[in-house]
Amino acid sequence: MTGSAPGSLPGSAPGSLPGSVLFSCTMNSIRSPMAEAILKQMFPRQVFVDSVGVRKGSLDPLAAEVLDEIGIDIGKHRPKSFDDLEDSSFDLIITLSPEAHHRALEMTRTMACDVEFWNTFDPSIVEGNRDQRLQAYREVRDGLLKRIRERFPKQQIQGG
């Protein structure tokens, strides 16, 4: 599969480390860039990671701010859509919104690719003051961080 790391196992059963992962959400402006950046920080050389949206939005400054709080910079992220992918071969696609899940399933009908649906709240719909809105983004960030740590445990690469 193109985009796979040498020596990676085919498939992506929970606990295994796929060679390539694509995160997708609705606009590639909050959830999928967060997830992409977190996984890249965890496995900077072991996994090829990208993200897309069903439609192309613009990077949400609050998403960048809450990732910056944990030492991750996504300021250079440029949102893109499924249509902008140079290579659509991934070992695993993780969708974060129902719309993205449908699009990923459509794209992978004829491919050997696992698709997982992690329904993730869209924090941009939260109304309120800045602190209330930031808290919603932090909850999404922390939920993604927890889920990614569970799905891709670091111990699987020790001694390798």
User: What is the tens place of the pLDDT at every residue in 88-135?
Assistant: 889 999 999 999 999 999 999 988 899 999 999 999 999 999 999 999
Instruction: Report yes or no on 157 lying in a domain.
Output: no
Please count the structural domains in the chain: 1
On the question of pLDDT at 1 being above 70, the answer is no
Q: In the predicted model, what is the mean pLDDT of the chain?
A: 89
- pLDDT score recorded for residue 86: 85
Instruction: Report yes or no on 82 lying in a domain.
Output: yes
Domain that holds residue 41: 20-151
Instruction: Report yes or no on 47 lying in a domain.
Output: yes
The larger pLDDT score, comparing residue 134 to residue 2, is at 134
For the segment 37-59, the average pLDDT, to the nearest whole number, is 96
CA distance 2 to 88: 8
CATH number of the domain where residue 64 is located: 3.40.50.2300
How many beta carbons lie within 10 A of that of residue 147, not counting itself?
17
Instruction: Report yes or no on 118 lying in a domain.
Output: yes
Alpha-carbon distances of 65 from 58, 60, 107, 144, rounded to whole Å: 14, 9, 32, 15
Strand bridging mode 114-117 / 92-95? parallel
- Lowest mean pLDDT segment, chosen from 49-63, 98-112, 115-129, 146-160: 146-160
CA distance 27 to 94: 14
Instruction: Report yes or no on 40 lying in a domain.
Output: yes
Instruction: Report yes or no on 145 lying in a domain.
Output: yes
